[in-house]
Amino acid sequence: MKLKFAFLAAASAAAITGTAVADEYVIGVMSAQSGYLAPYDGPAYAGFQFCIDEKNAAGGLNGNLKVKTIVKDTRSDIAEGVKVVQEMIDEGAQFIVSSADADPTIAAAQITMADNIPTMTFAGTAPVLTQVGPHVFGSYPADNQQGAVLASYARDQGLERVWLVKSPDSAYTLGGPEYFGSAFESLGGEVIGESLYSLNQPDFSAIVTNIKAADPAPDVIVTWAWEPDFPAFIKALRGAGVETQVMGGDVLDTPTVRGLGEVVDGVVHTSGGFPDEGSAYADFIARFEKATGTTPDNNYYVNGCDIANMIEQAVAAAGSTDPAAVSAAMAEIKDGEGVMSNFTFAGTDRMPLRDVVVAGITADGKKEFILRSTADPETLPKP
Amino acid sequence: MISTASALPLETHPARLAAANWVRTAICILLLAAVVACLTLAFGRTGERIAVQLCVNVTAVVALGLFCGNTGIVSFGHGAFMALGAYLSGILTMPAGLQRTALPNLPDFLAAHELSVWLALPIVAIAGLCFAAVTGSAIARLAGASATIATLGLLIITHGIAVGAREITRGSQTFFGVPRVTDLTIALGAALVFIVIARLYRESRHGLFARAARDDPDAASALGISPRRTRFVSWCLSGALATVAGALYGHMLGAFSPASFYLSLVFAHVAMMIVGGMASVGGAVAGVMVVTLLQDTVRQFEGGAELLGFVFPEFFGLTTIALGLAILLVIWLRPQGLVGSFELGPGADAPFLRRIGRGTKPANDPEKVAETMLQARSLSKSFAGVRAVDDVSFDVPTGRITGLIGPNGAGKSTLVNLLTHQYDADAGKALINGTELTKVRREAVAGKGVSRSFQNLRLFRGLTGYENVLVGSLAAGRSRQLAAPVAIRELGDLDLGEVAGKTADALPYGARKRLEIARSLSQDPSILLLDEPAAGMNPAETDDLADRLVRTSEARGLGILLIDHDLKFVNRLSNWIVVMNRGEVIAQGLPEDIRTNPSVIEAYIGRGRTAAEAQFVPNKTTRVLTVGVDQ
């Protein structure tokens, strides 16, 4: 029965290809509402749904294609993710937005591969995740782009010797500093030392002692550590009297890190975007605040909204909702218009080239814009 | 219920138990099959997927429970086996082209096998068995909480290795391209096979030994069972199964990373096991089903729903909250888990099994034992400077009941522990027919013909009366066919037929005391050491026990060392009495000589009294009044 229905649907879809698109575009969203991915999936889903609702109110994608979202909680559990993706496909999902990490995205992409259903991660930044197939997309600037932009900024500041602090426990905490190191070296800098830590390691004094004893001393320390590791590390470092410049990844772009006080004064980090006054991003924040009463205090909200924009533009370019056509059109987008920043998939392996912002934290806990730049695809460290 | 049980003949107990065990296995299988059938028939493909996940979880939790349930040690280390299985099976089955991209630096011997899952699984199981044997040789040495911590250490080490071995595992990055072949047929088939294996193991010789050692390691080793060995065997089998379960899990996911097998997965499985009941296979199955069904039901309401006219708002996190509450409730209301400490299903005394008439004939009384002599020679033992046993020598020959008396704290129980090598002697030795018991392993003492009971009851609480005695009989080295008739004989001899199917915990005190003796006798010992067998018994029970001991001793010709401070009881039974006080032998001889020995009277009653006075001290609680009462 179901199979028959599917045949009918496929046949009728084929019949109207090229003319009007179907009435409704079904997007499945796997969103971890608890567990380690919740801090990223939650805001990303809120931003995504907000912009989808805005578009639906205006007639749908491109003004004529209403979107129906199916959202399912994965509890950050990969087995649960596998299950809900299949459920969403059963329920007719034509596009899958997956959790903000490589594991669930790749697991989902292996399932969507059979039907070529385009699959885009909320905020997974490990460049490897698109290796599964031509239907898998990133949305956030990848780790290697962030590493490359930050490295080029560091070199511009005249910094020469970097000490990397990384954790093999996750692709992000391991990959970010390594991409930085490789870009830094190709720009003439030198990696003089590395330390490894474990996620949720309470004590960083051994690492700090090593850094303090290094000869020659590093003039910059780079880590992609997140909370609570980063606060523990920076407190130990500054407590030991090491005043070396510290740079980090976009996970430092949170109010709690900025609230750490003078220990984070001068810390520089990457970010996906910056709400300059009068920008589309600032406008998004105002609209979102007005509608929901919540202030989007990180980039995942706006990136969620940009996923809606990417889908809209891919569907428009494909001229159809056929999954393979949407995938192909998405991969060819060049300088598509986004709220956080514009995005280019053409010429990449489907991790979009986007502006990376470098920002600094000030003594009074504010975020300070430093520069905005796009990584050079030629010198981008290979995943 | 009790009257039904008493009507059932003891001889048919083994056959009824075997039938009940198959029924219990069938119940586990039917339960799982019924839930899977309901899910797939009622909910189509969604239900089928839940069923696949459920079955894979059943394999993992049954494998986990095989170790935890039989040894009583909670393991957090099974995530290590699952990771091994998932990665190894993934590498062996991965398409070669994809493997070259995803794992460019894979060592040659692992690369490009492209096996089918049916070929990969046996290899995975063997690898798991080897890994379990290596890790088990260390972990099986530990018991209780320290073993649990060691398993946690294993998990952490394995996780670290998986993260570090980047050529093989892609490190902390996602390992992908694993064929997603775990469908309902494979998952359900594996779950059923695992249930049968776990059930067979649980009721097998090794499973019974493991559960005996779990309930009381000292009593088990006194019967000749090595608790360490039972833990090792359970660990190996459980590890091999968990490795296969991990492979199935990996083939269900298709992509995973070391974190997929780390604490959250392990905690989920341990939680399922504890919710269902750790001690049984039925508990493992029930736990997985309850947790999975609860999660998947509640999940439907998370995205907002309308039910019976009520509109529920979107409420994510409900699943986690519901699961947490369920675990709290179960632990509060049923600390042993939903199924409890016993296997799901009927026991051997279930009414519908009474028609089984196939009896096991009690074994013939054993031949009179060969002449043997247990000797204590200058045994000494101190605890923190206190000489509990000081230079003690005496003999316990076969064919005689030797009484060992002395006031509380005289060192009697310590002496028994020295004779059976529960303690290491500081000096001196215990000999049986010239072999030094003080030099053989504790578990080998029983094999030398020395069996014992304990001052404080040490029965295997989780086993039935019959199983307690059967363990003793099996531990004596008999096959199952030979062990059962002996167990039936001993239960019959000690009038325990009615309690064969009841758990040791549920028995009245006197029956438990007799059961312990039956368990010792089932080993056909030459020398039986009875540590206060009459303690806590009423006079009628004491008399009854005395009669039985005399009869048994005469019929089998065995030597008994009877330790008690009930002098009347010892006097009545013993042909020879050894008196200890403050760690030393103060007298030994025929009962009539001991009764009038002034130093014995002094030790018991105090200086300046006589035996005649002692007879009239009207203080029952101290039992000293019975000194000198006629035999």
Distance CA B592, CA B327 (A): 64
Would the CB atoms of A33 and B299 count as touching at under 8 Å?
no
Considering the domain architecture, whether residues A118 and A255 belong to the same structural domain is answered as: no
Please give the pLDDT value at position B628.
38
Q: Is residue B464 in a domain?
A: no
**Bridge partners, residue B562, by sequence:** B403, B530
What are the φ/ψ torsions at residue B311 (nearest 5 degrees)?
Answer: -105, 115
Q: Is residue A329 in a domain?
A: yes
3-state SS class at A338:
coil
| A77, A131, A171: residue with CB nearest B101 | A131
Q: Is residue A381 in a domain?
A: no
Contact between B176 and B102 under an 8 Å Cβ cutoff? The reply is: yes
Q: pLDDT grade, residue A20 (50/70/90)?
A: very low
Please give the pLDDT value at position B7.
59
Encoded tokens for A13: 């879809």
Q: Is residue B185 in a domain?
A: yes
Encoded tokens for B551: 């009869």
**Mutation for A interface: B174, B321, B323, most A CBs within 10 A:** B174
Considering the domain architecture, whether residues A233 and A368 belong to the same structural domain is answered as: yes
Distance CA A317, CA A311 (A): 10
CB contact B415 to A (< 8 Å): no
Residue with tokens 């509380």: B408
Would the CB atoms of A2 and B319 count as touching at under 8 Å?
no
Considering the domain architecture, whether residues A55 and A168 belong to the same structural domain is answered as: no
Considering the domain architecture, whether residues A55 and A128 belong to the same structural domain is answered as: yes
Q: Comparing C-alpha atoms, which of B540, B544, B482 is closest to residue B517?
A: B544
Q: Is residue B213 in a domain?
A: yes
Mean local confidence (pLDDT), B457-476: 94
Q: How many beta carbons lie within 10 A of that of residue B69, not counting itself? A: 30
**Mutation for B interface: A73, A76, A101, A129, most B CBs within 10 A:** A73
Considering the domain architecture, whether residues A181 and A306 belong to the same structural domain is answered as: no
Q: How many residues can be counted in chain A?
A: 383
A249 min Cα distance to partner chain B (Å): 18
The domain boundary, picked from B207, B236, B260, lies at: B260
Considering the domain architecture, whether residues A340 and A234 belong to the same structural domain is answered as: no
Encoded tokens for B492: 């019959």
Encoded tokens for A175: 């990959």
Contact between B366 and B558 under an 8 Å Cβ cutoff? The reply is: no
Distance CA B462, CA B143 (A): 18
Q: pLDDT grade, residue B605 (50/70/90)?
A: low
B256 min Cα distance to partner chain A (Å): 6
B47 min Cα distance to partner chain A (Å): 10
A317 min Cα distance to partner chain B (Å): 31
Would the CB atoms of A82 and B320 count as touching at under 8 Å?
no
Closest residue in B to A175 (Cα) is: B173
* Residue B609 pLDDT exceeds 80: no
Q: Which residue has the higher pLDDT, B326 or B63?
A: B63
Q: Is residue B62 in a domain?
A: yes
Q: Comparing C-alpha atoms, which of A349, A379, A368, A176 is closest to residue A274?
A: A368
Distance CA B383, CA A364 (A): 67
Phi-psi sector, A190: left (phi>0), alpha (psi -120 to 50), beta = beta
B104 min Cα distance to partner chain A (Å): 13
Contacts of B260 in chain A (CB under 8 A): 78, 103
Q: Is residue B342 in a domain?
A: no
* Residue B613 pLDDT exceeds 70: no
Contact between A218 and A163 under an 8 Å Cβ cutoff? The reply is: yes
* Residue B574 pLDDT exceeds 60: yes
Closest residue in A to B261 (Cα) is: A78
Helix axes B144-164, B78-93, angle to 10 degrees: 30
Contacts of A108 (CB under 8 A, 6+ apart): A30, A81, A82, A85, A96, A98, A99, A119
Encoded tokens for A124: 């997974």
Task: State how beta strands A367-373 and A356-361 pair.
Answer: antiparallel
B348 min Cα distance to partner chain A (Å): 40
Would the CB atoms of A79 and B316 count as touching at under 8 Å?
no
Contact between A292 and A250 under an 8 Å Cβ cutoff? The reply is: no
Please give the pLDDT value at position B285.
95
Contacts of B177 in chain A (CB under 8 A): 110, 132
Q: Is residue A379 in a domain?
A: no
A191 min Cα distance to partner chain B (Å): 21
Would the CB atoms of A110 and B49 count as touching at under 8 Å?
no
Q: Is residue A382 in a domain?
A: no
Considering the domain architecture, whether residues A133 and A83 belong to the same structural domain is answered as: yes
Which range among A230-239, A306-315, B342-351 shows the weakest confidence by mean pLDDT? B342-351
CB contact B263 to A (< 8 Å): no
Contact between A58 and A3 under an 8 Å Cβ cutoff? The reply is: no
The per-residue pLDDT of chain B, averaged, comes to 88
pLDDT tens digit sequence for B417-439: 999 998 999 999 999 988 898 88
Q: Comparing C-alpha atoms, which of B412, B408, B413 is closest to residue B624?
A: B408
Mean local confidence (pLDDT), B278-283: 92
Helix axes B117-139, B227-253, angle to 10 degrees: 140
CA A45, A46, A47, A49 dihedral sign is positive
| A90, A107, A169: residue with CB nearest B254 | A107
Would the CB atoms of B172 and A171 count as touching at under 8 Å?
yes
Please give the pLDDT value at position B303.
66
Give pTM, 2 decimals.
0.83
**Bridge partners, residue A361, by sequence:** A367
Considering the domain architecture, whether residues A7 and A80 belong to the same structural domain is answered as: yes
Q: Which residue has the higher pLDDT, A354 or B100?
A: A354
Contact between A337 and A352 under an 8 Å Cβ cutoff? The reply is: no
Please give the pLDDT value at position A6.
45
CB contact B387 to A (< 8 Å): no
Contacts of A128 in chain B (CB under 8 A): 173-174
Would the CB atoms of B45 and A171 count as touching at under 8 Å?
no
Please give the pLDDT value at position B564.
85
* Domain range for B28: 16-260
Q: Comparing C-alpha atoms, which of B185, B241, B219, B190 is closest to residue B69?
A: B241
What is the amino acid identity at position B378? S
Per-window interface: B 208-247 vs A, CB < 8 A: none
- Residue A217 DSSP one-character state: P
CB contact B169 to A (< 8 Å): no
Q: Which residue has the higher pLDDT, B191 or B614?
A: B191
Encoded tokens for A359: 């920002």
Q: How many beta carbons lie within 10 A of that of residue B146, not counting itself? A: 11
Strands of chain A, DSSP E:
24-31, 66-73, 95-98, 119-121, 136-137, 161-166, 190-196, 220-223, 245-248, 268-271, 343-344, 353-354, 356-361, 367-373
pLDDT tens digit sequence for B499-555: 999 999 889 888 999 999 999 999 999 999 999 888 888 888 888 888 888 888 888
CA-to-CA separations, B500 to A23, A125, A356, B13, B354, in angstroms, rounded: 72, 65, 76, 8, 14
Contacts of A292 in chain B (CB under 8 A): none
Distance CA B379, CA B390 (A): 7
The domain boundary, picked from B212, B241, B260, lies at: B260
Q: Is residue B148 in a domain?
A: yes
Encoded tokens for A191: 């990696």
Distance CA B322, CA B291 (A): 10
The domain boundary, picked from B206, B237, B260, lies at: B260
* Tally of CA atoms within 13 A in the half-sphere of B72 that contains its CB: 21
| B45, B173, B316: residue with CB nearest A171 | B173
Residue with tokens 């969620």: A304
**Mutation for B interface: A33, A87, A143, A173, most B CBs within 10 A:** A33
Contact between B188 and B55 under an 8 Å Cβ cutoff? The reply is: yes
Considering the domain architecture, whether residues A225 and A363 belong to the same structural domain is answered as: yes
CB contact B53 to A (< 8 Å): yes
Q: Comparing C-alpha atoms, which of B162, B173, B105 is closest to residue A125?
A: B173
- Give chain A's domain count: 2
Contacts of B264 in chain A (CB under 8 A): 35, 76-77
Q: Is residue A186 in a domain?
A: yes
Would the CB atoms of A170 and B302 count as touching at under 8 Å?
no
Contacts of A175 in chain B (CB under 8 A): 173
pLDDT tens digit sequence for A284-331: 999 999 999 999 988 899 999 999 999 999 999 999 999 999 999 999
Closest residue in B to A101 (Cα) is: B174
Please give the pLDDT value at position A73.
87
Would the CB atoms of B46 and A128 count as touching at under 8 Å?
no
Please give the pLDDT value at position B3.
41
Q: Comparing C-alpha atoms, which of B332, B408, B376, B323 is closest to residue B527?
A: B376
pLDDT tens digit sequence for B148-195: 999 999 999 999 899 888 889 888 778 888 999 999 999 999 999 999
A90 min Cα distance to partner chain B (Å): 8
Please give the pLDDT value at position B305.
63
The string of DSSP letters for B522-553 reads TT--SEEEEESTTTT--HHHHHHHHHHHHHHH
Task: State how beta strands B427-432 and B435-436 pair.
Answer: antiparallel
Considering the domain architecture, whether residues A308 and A238 belong to the same structural domain is answered as: no
Mean local confidence (pLDDT), B584-613: 76
CB contact B59 to A (< 8 Å): no
Contacts of B163 in chain A (CB under 8 A): 168-169
Contacts of A2 in chain B (CB under 8 A): 44-45
Contact between B494 and B517 under an 8 Å Cβ cutoff? The reply is: yes
- Give chain B's domain count: 2
| B173, B254, B259: residue with CB nearest A128 | B173
Q: Is residue B365 in a domain?
A: no
CB contact B171 to A (< 8 Å): yes
Considering the domain architecture, whether residues A214 and A362 belong to the same structural domain is answered as: yes
Please give the pLDDT value at position A16.
39
Q: Is residue B368 in a domain?
A: no
Would the CB atoms of B303 and A82 count as touching at under 8 Å?
no
Distance CA A126, CA A224 (A): 12
CATH code, domain with A308: 3.40.50.2300
The string of DSSP letters for A58-126 reads TTSBTTTBEEEEEEEE-TT-HHHHHHHHHHHHHTT-SEEEE-SSHHHHHHHHHHHGGGT--EEESS---
* Domain range for A339: 2-141+277-351
Size of interface A-B (CB pairs under 8 A): 99
3-class SS letters over B12-34: HHHHHHHHHHHHHHHHHHHHHHH
Q: Is residue A378 in a domain?
A: no
**Mutation for A interface: B316, B318, B319, B321, most A CBs within 10 A:** B316
| B45, B254, B264: residue with CB nearest A82 | B254
Q: Is residue A343 in a domain?
A: yes
Q: Is B114 exposed, middle or buried (0-12, 13-18, 19+ CB in 10 A)?
A: middle
CATH code, domain with B610: 3.40.50.300
Q: pLDDT grade, residue B5 (50/70/90)?
A: very low
| A75, A87, A129: residue with CB nearest B46 | A87
Contacts of A174 in chain B (CB under 8 A): 171-172
Considering the domain architecture, whether residues A90 and A185 belong to the same structural domain is answered as: no
Considering the domain architecture, whether residues B388 and B532 belong to the same structural domain is answered as: yes
CA-to-CA separations, B361 to B16, B79, B278, B484, B486, in angstroms, rounded: 14, 47, 35, 9, 9
Please give the pLDDT value at position B96.
85
- Residue B397 DSSP one-character state: E
pLDDT tens digit sequence for B58-105: 999 999 999 999 999 999 999 999 999 999 999 999 988 888 877 888
Per-window interface: B 319-358 vs A, CB < 8 A: 319-320
Would the CB atoms of B49 and A87 count as touching at under 8 Å?
yes
